[in-house]
Amino acid sequence: MKGPKEKVSDASAECKAELRSLRGRLLAQQQRIRDQKLPVIVLVEGWAAAGKGSLINELICELDPRFYNVVSPVILPEKEERYPYLYPYAKSMPENGKIMFYDSGWMEGAVRKYLHREITKEQYKARIRSVNEFERQLRDGGYLVLKLFLDISRGEQRKRLRSLKENFETEWRVTDDDLWQHREYELFRDTYESFMEKTDGIAWHRLDGSKKKAAACEALRLLVELVDRALENGRYVGKPFKEDFPLLEMPKLRDVDLSPSIGEEEYREELKKLQKRLGELHNIVYRKKIPVVLCYEGWDAAGKGGNIRRIARPLDPRGFDVMPIASPEPHELNRQYLWRFWTRLPRSGHICIFDRTWYGRVMVERLEGFCTENDWRRAYNEINEFERQLTDWGAVVLKFWIHIDQDTQLERFTDRQNTPEKQWKLTEEDWRNREKWPQYEEAVDEMLRRTSTENAPWFIIESNDKKYARIKTLRILVDALEKACGSQWAKGL
Amino acid sequence: MKGPKEKVSDASAECKAELRSLRGRLLAQQQRIRDQKLPVIVLVEGWAAAGKGSLINELICELDPRFYNVVSPVILPEKEERYPYLYPYAKSMPENGKIMFYDSGWMEGAVRKYLHREITKEQYKARIRSVNEFERQLRDGGYLVLKLFLDISRGEQRKRLRSLKENFETEWRVTDDDLWQHREYELFRDTYESFMEKTDGIAWHRLDGSKKKAAACEALRLLVELVDRALENGRYVGKPFKEDFPLLEMPKLRDVDLSPSIGEEEYREELKKLQKRLGELHNIVYRKKIPVVLCYEGWDAAGKGGNIRRIARPLDPRGFDVMPIASPEPHELNRQYLWRFWTRLPRSGHICIFDRTWYGRVMVERLEGFCTENDWRRAYNEINEFERQLTDWGAVVLKFWIHIDQDTQLERFTDRQNTPEKQWKLTEEDWRNREKWPQYEEAVDEMLRRTSTENAPWFIIESNDKKYARIKTLRILVDALEKACGSQWAKGL
């Protein structure tokens, strides 16, 4: 399949020797990757039949299988069409100390969909933006990211596809999509090129797919050098960066009037009316496959639980989930901090209620020192990006800060303490957190100020009167769903 | 929709008052369920339009959403067709201290498939057997299991389906499947009845779906009483039970001749030949969607890693995974012990290599006291059942015990100690385990004797000569795949 000249230079003894030596170096690095808890991502994109699988095989063949994994779009389950674009890639990010090879990934996911006209130009642009955000967040979170593009000419691709087609054993590997790509080779080439240009925050490396051994050598060399540098310099922690999100004006907590209340009769009427409408809207949301993400944060004893129950009451239990967020487990701490939220996202058409959220990063993790200052300072922007990726997907994202004052909290704590069946709700930690009220208030003010975006707004819910708070939350939710179900049909994948 | 008489008795003040009181009791139990770490499963099966969703809603409406979840076949992703029958249900088993409501489950999964003729009578019988095994394993593992069947007459179903169809908002809820069930009401009734008869190891409770409030009352009463008994008696630990698996004869480890070896030249030739064939077979396995599960166990330093690498080398990285099994994490310890293996199963068509397995239960967990004696004694049978469920699904299951003698292990430990790049492979724990060689040998002998079944056999791989071991393993695998790809097409879901 190759001209004699190429063959000589490609599989030359020199090349083979280098391959051996590089594999040895990577093998030796493996243990240090593990010890230093470095997570490594190798993204292999490229043409159909360019040899992505074989290239990966050359890279992994000496590695201990316990320290790497390969993920491939072929094995991405169909249902992931019902999740945000980056979901399958985010879900499979490696844990610390491991290498994940992506056998084609987010580039292919964007380019194919676009050229197939399954997404609009605008959506395609949003995907490019998301990719840049995703890669930067990974790098800033200490991930090593190597991006490879395996290139072959149109002629070479023709030869390879033909040879695959001719062999009974491999014929099935050539899909209609591949043949279509081949016919539209130039269109794809231009799109790949422009995609790479627009996503070069982390550099792309082009490899010549017609020279298998040389390409493997080059890929290995890049990987070994990347790892070497990281092992020397230690794990990278990204710095905070300039935000460019249009933010909504938010009041300071201390300026919030907590006196609003509601009479018993009005409460019952409103509750009944709003819950009925919410139940109806849930049906439409389900049919129209609109994803809904509700975020609850608030002071201890502010009434989150009861508020959530009033939302959940009229919902069809088949179509919603409540996700209580506790402190992260070891396998969660071992990955970028948004991973445990990515993996808990609802399918489109479902309502997911997060009882505490990713905002823990800029509250408890910030105040208790569970992450570095750079980590939580970066998080405002990372969260805004994450939430925009959700709304790009078509999700309704609403965030509620359930608010009370210190006196009300003390009253409720005391009540819990004195009521046997409520005692479990009150822990030593609640008392400790209460002592840090001023620090928390400062952190919450900053959070509200920096993350209330038009697409994913914060709502301060005055909850000194819990009934008032429930009605207000229900009304905000119903209004938002009316809007989403009416004019604003989900923006697509 | 109901006659006047029914209406009076159903929604009577008495019934409503009882409902309130029972909800209060369940609410009070919630905290104790959590404290005592009881996992609770409520399976709600029944006719289309019988009101399963509403019934569940009545049960959960006062509960704290952090302590329960609802799982429904509607939200089971399509891809689960490519997993074993019980996979979606096993995957969603609750963790300790939580309640999981199944809005229809394993009964519907078996009956519909059977009546649709998507599975044969024989496969249907296998599913009934699996259900009995699954439920017993859950109960023996300390789970509370409540099984409800919501019954309505044919006339009632007609009325409800019609009323759903007539309303634009609810029309979409009536599926062709539901209509077909209605037409074939008697066939379904007989099949449901016989299914319940054959799966009454844990009792079924029939509820009259035409009386909604009364049914909810009855369901709540059953649940509250079940929980009460469990809270009184503490968490149940099942006793070992009689095995009825046809077992293969296995030698004692001490009688295994470890002298077999292979010459360098023969090794190279055989390796090349077998790997080439394995690569080809992998293609066929992939196309025919045959799942392959390979289990590796063996002494420390026996050569598992190198052996696995030789298997992985010719495989297409898109179609296999290596699953290293370390000690369980908290969220894994919080569920039945097979859960972490259920959730790691390959899709059909993929090869999954488990580097250590569920057999930890009868080795390290047994010897280190990480589970009770009843737990590990029960495990032999539970594992045999689990593996039979895998082969029922059509999987090739092969188990390798990589075997060396004590002298060889000492040699390799010493070598690891003296070779800097191998030192990470040797831990204090390895030395401690070595001291317990006799106990481990006894446990392994018992394991081999009691879990080597025809459908999932153990192979002792003599690995004093690692090269001999690799060739032997490859040959066993190649032979098994030849057989599976040739005559024996996967037995179906």
How confident is the model at residue B316, as a pLDDT? Answer: 82
How confident is the model at residue A8, as a pLDDT? Answer: 44
Model confidence at B10, pLDDT cuts 50, 70, 90, reads: low
Report d(CA B108, CA B93) in Å as an integer: 17
* Of A387, A388, A397, A365, residue with least CA distance to A481: A397
pLDDT in tens, B172-217: 788 899 999 999 999 999 999 999 999 999 999 999 999 999 999 9
* b/e map B213-251, b = 16+ CB within 10 Å: bbbbbbbbbbbbeebeebbeeeeeebebeeeebeeeebe
- Judge: B169–A283 Cβ closer than 8 Å, yes or no: yes
pLDDT in tens, B406-453: 999 999 999 998 988 778 788 888 999 999 999 999 999 999 999 999
Question: Bridge partners of B43?
Answer: B102, B147
The Cα of B246 is separated from the nearest Cα of chain A by a number of Å equal to 34
- Mean pLDDT computed over A123-138: 96
- Judge: A317–B169 Cβ closer than 8 Å, yes or no: no
User: Nearest by CB to B318, which of A64, A70, A329?
Assistant: A70
- Which of A23, A33, A60, A75 is the mutation pick for testing B, counting most B CBs within 10 A? A75
How confident is the model at residue B75, as a pLDDT? Answer: 47
Model confidence at A64, pLDDT cuts 50, 70, 90, reads: confident
Q: Residue A96: what residue type?
A: N
- Mean pLDDT computed over A442-446: 98
How confident is the model at residue B241, as a pLDDT? Answer: 86
- Judge: A78–B75 Cβ closer than 8 Å, yes or no: no
User: Nearest by CB to B66, which of A64, A280, A355?
Assistant: A355
* Of A75, A142, A138, A144, residue with least CA distance to A105: A75
Name A379's Cβ contacts closer than 8 Å, sequence gap at least 6: A337, A361, A362
Instruction: Enumerate the residues of chain A whose CB falls inside 8 A of the CB of residue B28.
Output: 421
Report d(CA A37, CA A35) in Å as an integer: 5
How confident is the model at residue A421, as a pLDDT? Answer: 75
pLDDT at B141 over 90: yes
Report d(CA A348, CA A490) in Å as an integer: 10
DSSP state at residue A73:
G
User: Nearest by CB to B283, which of A169, A355, A421?
Assistant: A169
How many alpha carbons fall within 13 Å on the CB side of residue B308?
29
The answer to whether B296 and B355 are in contact (CB under 8 A) is: yes
Instruction: Enumerate the residues of chain A whose CB falls inside 8 A of the CB of residue B60.
Output: 312, 317
Q: Residues in chain A, how many?
A: 493
CB distance from B308 to chain A under 8 Å?
yes
Taking each helix axis from N to C end, the angle separating A304-312 and A264-287, rounded to the nearest 10 degrees, works out to: 60
Model confidence at B11, pLDDT cuts 50, 70, 90, reads: low
pLDDT in tens, B54-95: 899 889 888 887 889 888 865 455 455 688 999 999 999 999
The Cα of A283 is separated from the nearest Cα of chain B by a number of Å equal to 7
Report d(CA B259, CA B153) in Å as an integer: 71
Instruction: Enumerate the residues of chain A whose CB falls inside 8 A of the CB of residue B313.
Output: 57, 61
How confident is the model at residue A65, as a pLDDT? Answer: 78
* Of A300, A338, A322, residue with least CA distance to A425: A300
B:314-333 residues touching chain A, CB 8 A cutoff: 316-319, 321-322, 324, 329-331
User: Nearest by CB to A101, which of B60, B280, B317?
Assistant: B317
Nearest-Cα residue of chain B relative to residue A306: B64
- Mean pLDDT computed over B470-488: 90
Largest separation between any pair of C-alpha atoms in chain A: 90
How confident is the model at residue A13, as a pLDDT? Answer: 84
Report d(CA A203, CA A144) in Å as an integer: 12
How confident is the model at residue A76, as a pLDDT? Answer: 52
The answer to whether A288 and A349 are in contact (CB under 8 A) is: yes
- Mean pLDDT computed over A28-52: 94
Report d(CA A124, CA A101) in Å as an integer: 24
Report d(CA B430, CA B49) in Å as an integer: 59
Least confident span in A229-238, A256-265, B373-382, B438-447: A229-238
Report d(CA A25, CA A41) in Å as an integer: 18
The Cα of A124 is separated from the nearest Cα of chain B by a number of Å equal to 26
pLDDT in tens, B19-61: 999 998 998 898 899 999 999 999 999 999 999 988 998 898 8
Instruction: Enumerate the residues of chain A whose CB falls inside 8 A of the CB of residue B322.
Output: 65-66, 69
User: Nearest by CB to A280, which of B169, B329, B347?
Assistant: B169
Model confidence at B345, pLDDT cuts 50, 70, 90, reads: very high
pLDDT at A2 over 50: no
User: Exposure of A340 by Cβ count < 10 A (0-12 exposed, 13-18 middle, 19+ buried)?
Assistant: middle
Name A262's Cβ contacts closer than 8 Å, sequence gap at least 6: A270, A465, A467, A468, A471
Q: How many CB atoms lie within 10 A of CB A28?
A: 12
Report d(CA A269, CA A461) in Å as an integer: 20
Instruction: Enumerate the residues of chain A whose CB falls inside 8 A of the CB of residue B424.
Output: 31, 34-35
- Mean pLDDT computed over B10-25: 84
CB distance from A424 to chain B under 8 Å?
yes
H-run or E-run covering B45 = strand B40-46
Model confidence at B6, pLDDT cuts 50, 70, 90, reads: very low
- Which of B287, B322, B327, B425 is the mutation pick for testing A, counting most A CBs within 10 A? B322
CB distance from A77 to chain B under 8 Å?
yes
Residue with tokens 């005559």: B487
- Mean pLDDT computed over A203-209: 97
- Judge: B69–A321 Cβ closer than 8 Å, yes or no: yes
DSSP string, B68-83: EEEE-GGGS-GGGGGS
pLDDT at B492 over 90: no
Give me the long-range contacts of A383-386 (CB less than 8 A, separation at least 24). Answer: A383/A338, A383/A358, A383/A359, A383/A451, A384/A243, A384/A245, A384/A450, A384/A451, A384/A453, A384/A456, A385/A130, A385/A133, A385/A137, A386/A338, A386/A341, A386/A358
CB distance from B252 to chain A under 8 Å?
no
Q: Residue B308: what residue type?
A: I
Instruction: Enumerate the residues of chain B whose CB falls inside 8 A of the CB of residue A287.
Output: 172
- Which of A25, A44, A52, A70 is the mutation pick for testing B, counting most B CBs within 10 A? A70
Interface A:B, Cβ pairs < 8 A = 123
Angle value at C-alpha B39, between B33 and B41, nearest 5 degrees: 115
Question: Bridge partners of B223?
Answer: none
B:284-303 residues touching chain A, CB 8 A cutoff: 284, 287
Q: How many CB atoms lie within 10 A of CB A264?
A: 8
What percent of chain A has pLDDT above 70? Answer: 95
CB distance from A75 to chain B under 8 Å?
yes
User: How far from the centroid of its chain's Cα atoms is residue A59's Cα?
Assistant: 27
B:97-156 residues touching chain A, CB 8 A cutoff: 101, 103
How confident is the model at residue B5, as a pLDDT? Answer: 43
Model confidence at A420, pLDDT cuts 50, 70, 90, reads: confident
- Mean pLDDT computed over A208-237: 94
User: Nearest by CB to B31, which of A34, A319, A424?
Assistant: A424
Instruction: Enumerate the residues of chain B whose CB falls inside 8 A of the CB of residue A56.
Output: 317
User: Nearest by CB to A65, which of B28, B284, B322?
Assistant: B322
pLDDT at A460 over 70: yes
- Mean pLDDT computed over A402-421: 93
pTM (predicted TM-score): 0.83
User: Exposure of A313 by Cβ count < 10 A (0-12 exposed, 13-18 middle, 19+ buried)?
Assistant: middle
- Judge: A75–B350 Cβ closer than 8 Å, yes or no: yes
Residue with tokens 């445990």: A340
How confident is the model at residue A219, as a pLDDT? Answer: 97
Q: What is the ipTM of this complex?
A: 0.72
User: Nearest by CB to B317, which of A70, A172, A321?
Assistant: A70
How confident is the model at residue A10, as a pLDDT? Answer: 53
- Judge: A61–B309 Cβ closer than 8 Å, yes or no: yes
Largest separation between any pair of C-alpha atoms in chain B: 89
Reduce the DSSP state of residue A352 to 3 states and report it.
strand
User: Exposure of B344 by Cβ count < 10 A (0-12 exposed, 13-18 middle, 19+ buried)?
Assistant: middle
* Of B7, B11, B18, residue with least CA distance to B217: B18
- Mean pLDDT computed over A379-405: 97
pLDDT in tens, A331-343: 899 999 999 999 9
Residue with tokens 């919630």: B30
A:145-164 residues touching chain B, CB 8 A cutoff: none
Report d(CA B462, CA B466) in Å as an integer: 8
